[in-house]
Amino acid sequence: MAKIGYLYLRQGAWAGQQLLPTEWVDTVNHATISMKARADAGLKYHNQFWALPDRHVFMAVGYHCQVIMVFPDLDIVAAMTARDFCSFRKIAEGIAGAVKSEATLPHNSDAARLLADAVADVSTEKPTQVAPVPQIASPISGKTYRFPADNALDVRSISLSFTDKPGYAVDIDTHNPANPVIRLRGPIGLDGLYRKSELTSFGLRAVKGAWVSADTFAIDMQYVGLGEQQKFSLSFSGDNKVVLHGKTRAGREVAVDGEPDG
């Protein structure tokens, strides 16, 4: 991602070769097409790139704030991944505001070591806190819970196993008549650490779960390296009912009532 940004930062030149016409890059840098974006009226667009002309930054934007930002005036490229939507303006202002000198800063071995240590630290998974397993876990283990069709979370059914090999099976509504349901299944970590599924066409899924109360189980699922994370919780009641809580793709909190199969 950063290399793509660097290509644009250098006006389309790479290793002494002009790979992109300078005019193409210049129109991106001076984008004028207003897309009337509700999130930020100042956003402009041209040649597959977005721009904030008043902040002197243009960017390639993907889903969930996967962004390549180019700051021509500051000679900076910033590449980032994320798990949720974000404000491009706030990010641009934060990066620009962090610049302390127009000249290259002198080498600082202590700062480089601290940065390397910080990167190594965040790269190492650390277990999250888990609570004792409540009594309700045993009777719901292996049971399938179904939810109404066309619900806001697109979840058709969920089954959890709390045996010596904890796992999950989830049916997702695709809204595609040719392939209406996708089944996700795999192991789930109950010790505060993720367990990875087999490699699928969607990527490598990592899932963990924990009881947050005597009747509520929280699930944390993400696709490794894709910046895609989803969190759900299931609240079970004594009358065999369940309520699924989660966020829609638009970020709206919703709850969906479900019942055991059969």
pLDDT given for residue 160 in this prediction: 96
> What is the strand order of the sheet 144-146 is part of?
181-187, 167-173, 155-161, 144-146, 253-260, 242-247, 228-236, 216-223, 205-211, 195-196
- Domain assignment present for 212: yes
- Domain assignment present for 178: yes
Task: Quote the domain boundaries for residue 228.
Answer: 137-260
- Domain assignment present for 128: no
- Domain assignment present for 109: no
Task: Provide the phi-psi class of 38: left if phi over 0, else alpha when psi is between -120 and 50, else beta.
Answer: alpha
Residues lower than pLDDT 70 in the chain: 83-84, 227
- Domain assignment present for 45: yes
Q: CATH number of the domain at 51, please.
A: 3.40.710.10
- Domain assignment present for 176: yes
pLDDT given for residue 235 in this prediction: 97
pLDDT given for residue 39 in this prediction: 78
- Domain assignment present for 81: yes
Number of domains in the chain: 2
Instruction: Examine the domain organization and report whether 248 and 176 are in the same domain.
Output: yes
Q: CATH number of the domain at 159, please.
A: 2.40.128
Instruction: Examine the domain organization and report whether 144 and 249 are in the same domain.
Output: yes
- Average pLDDT value for the chain: 90
Instruction: Examine the domain organization and report whether 95 and 143 are in the same domain.
Output: no
Strand partners, 60: 68
